[in-house]
């Protein structure tokens, strides 16, 4: 099935469109883009534009790569990488609602939703099956894990571990249990996740060291609990922290 390009859309020579793509009126797909099959780009979206980086070399050969089945709504912007030979990456079946933005060198997993005006700064990574609420904003170099629910208007400046919910400014408010159940995660695995969450967040000490100790001890068997613990071994930023009822968040380690 051939791609469909509507009148007044701009698709620059060199852009690669997969079968069944639809580029609507007034959308812009630059020569730096590689779109998978069935990607839909709505009016006034701009894919593959130059990064908003003052030292960028405009002659650099960089890309934006969009996975199959992704829907890009009106006024979305996804910028190309700043590094020669590199790409800003969006996985399959994403949904970018109106006016959302992914800056240069973001790596966004599959089945990710950015609600209206959600904003990702440069070098942000987002795991599969994550939802970012309207007007949520994520600081550069942050990691947002798999299966995370980010509240609308949240300000994220720290790493957010897998399977959690986060709101306000880096406040982890619990596990995304509804999302886990919808994905068919077993009750036993969710129970282990709850125990791992409690251990990491409410055991005194350095959060990285606590997670590493629980992992090394083999305290949890489920893949989900182990993935949750493994998250704390990576990254360079501090971690969003959980609140006890009525208590303020502790500083990140």
pLDDT band at 246 (very low <50, low <70, confident <90, very high): very low
| CA trace torsion 229, 233, 234, 235 (10° rounding) | 100
What is the DSSP code string of 188-230? HHHHHHHHHHHHHHHSSS-HHHHHHHHHHTT---SHHHHHHHH
Separation of alpha carbons 101 and 190, rounded Å: 32
CB atoms within 10 A of CB 117: 18
On the 0-12 / 13-18 / 19+ scale of CB atoms within 10 A, 245 is exposed
Asked if residue 252 has pLDDT above 50, the reply is no
Separation of alpha carbons 59 and 138, rounded Å: 28
Write out the catalytic residue numbers.
104-105, 122
CB 147, CB 179: distance < 8 Å: yes
Mean per-residue pLDDT, 59-67: 98
Asked if residue 250 has pLDDT above 80, the reply is no
Asked if residue 101 has pLDDT above 80, the reply is yes
Q: What value does the mean pLDDT of the chain take? A: 95
pLDDT for 244: 65
Strand 10-11 with 107-108, pairing: unpaired
Q: Please give the distance of CA 202 from its chain centroid, rounded to a whole number.
A: 26
Mean per-residue pLDDT, 141-161: 98
Packing angle of the helix pair 223-231, 207-216 (nearest 10 deg): 150
Asked if residue 248 has pLDDT above 60, the reply is no
Phi, psi (degrees; rounded to nearest 5) at 140? -60, 145
Separation of alpha carbons 234 and 251, rounded Å: 18
130-134, Cβ contacts within 8 angstroms, sequence gap of 24 or more? 131/179, 132/100, 134/97
Region for residue 108 given its phi and psi (left: phi exceeds 0; alpha: psi -120 to 50; beta: otherwise): beta
Asked if residue 247 has pLDDT above 50, the reply is no
Asked if residue 130 has pLDDT above 80, the reply is yes
Mean per-residue pLDDT, 78-93: 98
Predicted confidence (pLDDT) per residue in 197-241, tens digit: 999 999 999 999 999 999 999 999 999 999 999 999 999 899 999
Predicted confidence (pLDDT) per residue in 158-203, tens digit: 999 999 999 999 999 999 999 999 999 999 999 999 999 999 999 9
Mean per-residue pLDDT, 66-86: 98
Q: Whole-prediction pTM value?
A: 0.94
């Amino acid at each position: 099935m051939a791609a469909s390009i509507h009148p007044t859309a701009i698709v620059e020579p060199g852009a690669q469109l997969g079968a069944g793509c639809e580029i609507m009126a007034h959308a812009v797909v630059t020569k730096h883009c590689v779109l998978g099959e069935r990607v839909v780009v709505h009016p006034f979206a701009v894919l593959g534009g130059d990064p908003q980086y003052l030292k960028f070399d405009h002659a650099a050969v960089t890309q934006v790569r969009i996975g199959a089945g992704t829907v890009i709504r009106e006024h979305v912007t996804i910028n190309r990488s700043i590094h020669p030979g590199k790409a800003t990456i969006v996985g399959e079946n994403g949904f970018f609602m109106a006016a959302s933005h992914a800056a240069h060198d973001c790596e966004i997993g599959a089945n990710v939703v950015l609600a209206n005006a959600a904003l990702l700064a440069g070098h942000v990574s987002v795991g599969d099956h994550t939802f970012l609420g309207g007007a949520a904003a994520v600081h550069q170099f942050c990691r947002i894990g798999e299966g995370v629910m980010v509240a609308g208007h949240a300000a994220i400046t720290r790493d957010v571990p897998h399977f959690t919910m986060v709101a306000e400014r880096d406040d982890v408010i619990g596990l995304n249990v509804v999302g886990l159940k919808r994905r068919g995660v077993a009750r036993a695995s969710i129970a282990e996740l709850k125990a791992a969450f409690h251990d990491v967040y409410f055991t005194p000490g350095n959060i990285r060291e606590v997670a590493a100790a629980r992992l090394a001890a083999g305290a949890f068997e489920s893949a989900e609990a182990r993935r949750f613990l493994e998250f704390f071994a990576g990254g360079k930023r501090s971690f969003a922290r959980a609140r006890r009822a009525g208590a303020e968040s502790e500083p990140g380690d």
